[in-house]
């Protein structure tokens, strides 16, 4: 990315974070989505991202089933559903190859072969952002609150 586009991207992020130049609506949307996800996943009764995705897919399946049954009763064409088998086969092949590489890497580490340090470094690099991501909504809410308070304080003076 050239310097000009990088600078524009940095300005856009600064505008969103500081609620300026007409970006307040995007910032408010991000804040609302963050608060809603924090309430849903941290404070609600036992919801996780996986259980929410499963519930949404189950609801979609029920709606499609009801739609196809109603279409058959009314003599209309059934809803067109694309063939997802090629995409599913591709996903299975991707997951299988990834798991095979992971298993061979763990075997090399267990046997003490050269290159084990790189595997440890990759696992540590993956664990650090994962631990920080758990507190990301709280950090975002705190940072947005500080920005709002700072802007409010500047508008008073």
- 79-138 confidence digits (pLDDT tens): 887 887 888 899 899 989 988 987 887 787 777 777 666 666 766 776 666 666 666 666
Tell me the mean pLDDT in the region 19-38.
Answer: 78
* 22 within some domain: yes
CA distance 147 to 13: 13
**pLDDT value at residue 14:** 75
Does 32 fall in a domain? yes
Domain count, the chain: 1
Tell me, yes or no, whether 149 lies in a domain: no
Residue 110 to residue 98: CA distance in whole angstroms = 18
Beta carbons within 8 Å of 26's beta carbon, 6+ residues apart: 16
State which residues form the domain around 48.
7-77
At 46, the pLDDT band (50, 70, 90 cuts) reads: low
pTM (predicted TM-score): 0.40
């Amino acid at each position: 990315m050239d310097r000009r586009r990088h600078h524009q991207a940095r300005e856009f992020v600064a505008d969103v974070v500081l609620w300026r130049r007409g970006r307040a609506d995007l910032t408010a949307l991000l804040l609302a989505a963050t608060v809603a996800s924090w309430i849903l996943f941290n404070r609600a009764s036992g919801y996780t991202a996986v259980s929410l995705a499963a519930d949404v897919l189950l609801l979609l399946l029920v709606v499609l089933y009801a739609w196809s049954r109603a279409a058959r009763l009314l003599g209309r064409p059934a809803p067109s559903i694309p063939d997802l088998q090629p995409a599913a086969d591709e996903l299975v092949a991707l997951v299988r190859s990834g798991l095979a590489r992971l298993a061979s890497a763990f075997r090399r580490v267990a046997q003490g072969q050269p290159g084990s340090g790189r595997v440890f470094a990759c696992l540590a690099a993956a664990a650090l952002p994962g631990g920080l991501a758990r507190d990301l909504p709280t950090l975002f809410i705190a940072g947005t609150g500080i920005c709002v308070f700072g802007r409010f304080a500047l508008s008073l003076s």
